[in-house]
A = this chain, B = another copy of it.
Amino acid sequence: MPDQKGSADPRPPAAAVSLLEPQKEARPAAGANLLFLREEEIRTAQDLLFFAYRDFTNAADVILEELGLGRAHHRALHFIGRNPGITVSDLLALLRITKQSLARVLTVLMEEGYVAQAQGHSDRRQRLLTLTPSGQALERRLFERQRERLLAAYREAGGVAVDGFRRVMRGIMDDSARAYLDRHDPAESRARRA
């Protein structure tokens, strides 16, 4: 198959680090080349995000399909599992979808007995969401699939790489998402103090 672009790239590995610096234009030719490389780096990152996300989410699809659920259900299960007692509005803010989209998903998850609601303690308008034992079991099954993939990748890449992965991923996301991670898992905030 095509996928043209055979031309091998003879550039030296040293390029990787220098790409990240503003590059004060040492020489015109080198500067232009580095600019090109920088762009190529970024475009490759687009590819990486697309493929990694696609295949990562894909990992759980088999199980979901068996049960007639979709990825939206998985995402809800994941975040409820990780934040037991989360309110509906907080979950909405995390997922960044509308109330109606979430409602459809939650309705199914509650009908199937994977998610339970409880009335808020301080504020009785709130519905605190938790996974039932059966919901926990399902979430774990889904998790295991993704875990395999991730663990294999982590092992191959090594600890230093994993740390770099985390730092870059944190850098890509919004401030609010970073804040969530810090709140949720303070240990992760090691990455902040780069």
Which residues from chain A sit less than 8 Å from chain B, CB to CB? 1-11, 13-20, 38-56, 75, 78, 82-87, 90, 93, 96, 143, 146-147, 149-175, 177-194
Stoichiometry, as copies per complex, reads: 2
Contact, CB under 8 Å: B17 / A159: yes
Contact, CB under 8 Å: B173 / A154: no
Q: Shortest distance in angstroms between A4's beta carbon and chain B's nearest beta carbon?
A: 4
Contact, CB under 8 Å: B46 / A49: no
23 A–B contacts, CB within 8 A, in A order = A2-B182, A3-B184, A4-B189, A5-B193, A6-B194, A10-B193, A13-B163, A16-B163, A17-B159, A42-B154, A48-B165, A49-B52, A50-B75, A51-B174, A51-B177, A52-B170, A52-B173, A54-B96, A55-B173, A153-B169, A153-B170, A158-B164, A165-B167
Q: Shortest distance in angstroms between A144's beta carbon and chain B's nearest beta carbon?
A: 10
Contact, CB under 8 Å: A6 / B52: no
Bound-complex Cα distance A2 to B128 (A): 10
- A47 cross-chain contacts in B, Cβ below 8 A: 82, 180-181, 184
Contact, CB under 8 Å: A194 / B157: yes
Bound-complex Cα distance A101 to B55 (A): 19
Bound-complex Cα distance A160 to B13 (A): 7
Q: Shortest distance in angstroms between A61's beta carbon and chain B's nearest beta carbon?
A: 11
Q: Select one of B11, B158, B177 contacting A20, CB under 8 A.
A: B158
- A3 cross-chain contacts in B, Cβ below 8 A: 83, 86, 90, 175, 178, 180, 183-184
